[in-house]
Amino acid sequence: MHNKKINQLLIGAMLAAMAPAVSAADIPAWNGSALGFEAGQQGLLGDMLGIRPILEENGFHYNLGYLNEMAYNAGGGYDHDKHLAYIDQVSLTFTQDLERWTGIPDARLEGNIVNRNHDDNLTTKRLQDPRVSFNDLSQESWGGGSITRLGWLTFARSFDDRRLTWRIGMMNKVQTFDQIIPCDFQLLTQCGGKSANSLTWNNWNIHTWGTTLEYKLTPTVTLKGGVMEQNPQATARSHAWSWSTKGSKGILLPMEIETRPLINGLPGAYNLGVVWTNAPQSDLYSGKSGGAGATDPQGYAEHDSTWFMYAGLNQQITRHTDDPLRGMSVSLSGSLSDQRSNYIHTPPSPPPCATAVCLTPARRTGLASA
């Protein structure tokens, strides 16, 4: 009888230990395909006569992409003349695995090179008065004109059993920050989040010096921070391949919290970030003498402490019965700025929703410099 009770206790303990494993197995893993985070596809050029497999065997992974964007002014606009605007770009994004050579966990070099062609932007040529600052672009990849640039070249590695990731070098904010909404739409305000509305850093193909940290507080929650150069001359053609800090005005201190949970078994991505800078920013109205800056002999006042806040969500809400990677998602992003120096004031507005359905407001203001 005593042995029978012991056996019953052992069986009960085994079943209790197995129960969480069974439940965890029933919970689907986070997969952002319906949110726009699609897995890499077989390249158009295949294995490139055996070159790609050789490179990948030695830790060099790359993506060679081509993009073109067209916009046509059928009528209206600041300039009523009809015009078909065309731009294109070729990009090479790569990583070189260094862990196999150094033994450093996740050590790698990361790079991005972008060639843009045809400085032809419909927004500035037809749609809007060129004398005023634009608040959107009909072709989001126009920024920078016809030029080949280094987007980033950084070293990264991990610590603490891959919970902490450190990155340093000539970098771009998209490597670390505001990554929850992919750029799936041609209209700039519907391309990604709103962090670039701060007008103090740039997207994609512009590099500045900096270092960032990402720490996984939990498997679904990540805290991000960094110190980055604030350089208004980073967009200049002379800076396209430069490692100089000439023109720097100060630093950027970004901080963001991101979570990628499963809600009712469906994946979502949410973030909240803030960027502070000590780089001087001109006041939109006030002059240095206290009156209007437009008539002040000393010019506009400057602020050496300004901030910008951004937030967004991207949530799958339906799932296809025959394919768990298909479904509909909705997204929302917005920003709040220091109104003394930032002319873009955007309420939350839905930019890209990585689905066939996207709710777009009748009126929108916003800018994300490409």
Q: In this structure, are residues 67 and 191 in contact, taking their beta carbons and an 8 Å threshold?
A: no
Which residues are registered as beta bridge partners of 150? 113
> pLDDT digits over 181-199, tens only?
998 888 888 888 899 899 9
Q: How far is the C-alpha of 64 from the C-alpha of 94, rounded, in Å? A: 9
> pLDDT digits over 273-315, tens only?
999 999 999 999 999 998 999 999 999 999 999 999 999 999 9
Q: How far is the C-alpha of 261 from the C-alpha of 312, rounded, in Å? A: 14
pLDDT of 1 over the 50 cut: no
pTM of the predicted model over 0.85: no
Q: How many helices (H) and strands (E) does the chain have?
A: 4, 14
Residue that the structure tokens 């396209």 belong to:
240
3-state SS, 112-140, equals: EEEEEECCCCHHHHHHCCCCCCCCCCCCH
Cβ contacts of residue 262 below 8 Å, gap of 6+?
27, 28, 30, 268
Query: Identity (one letter) of the amino acid at 109?
Result: L
Count of beta carbons in the 10 Å neighbourhood of residue 323: 10
Which residues are registered as beta bridge partners of 329? 316
pLDDT category at 360 given cuts 50, 70, 90 is very low
| Domains of the chain, CATH where assigned | 49-337 (2.40.160)
Q: In this structure, are residues 91 and 64 in contact, taking their beta carbons and an 8 Å threshold?
A: yes
pLDDT of residue 364: 28
> pLDDT digits over 94-122, tens only?
999 999 889 999 999 999 999 999 888 89
pLDDT of 216 over the 90 cut: yes
118 closest CA partner among 70, 48, 64, 61: 70
Q: Picking from 31-35, 139-143, 208-212, 271-275, which range would have the lowest pLDDT averaged per residue?
A: 139-143
> pLDDT digits over 165-182, tens only?
999 999 999 999 999 999
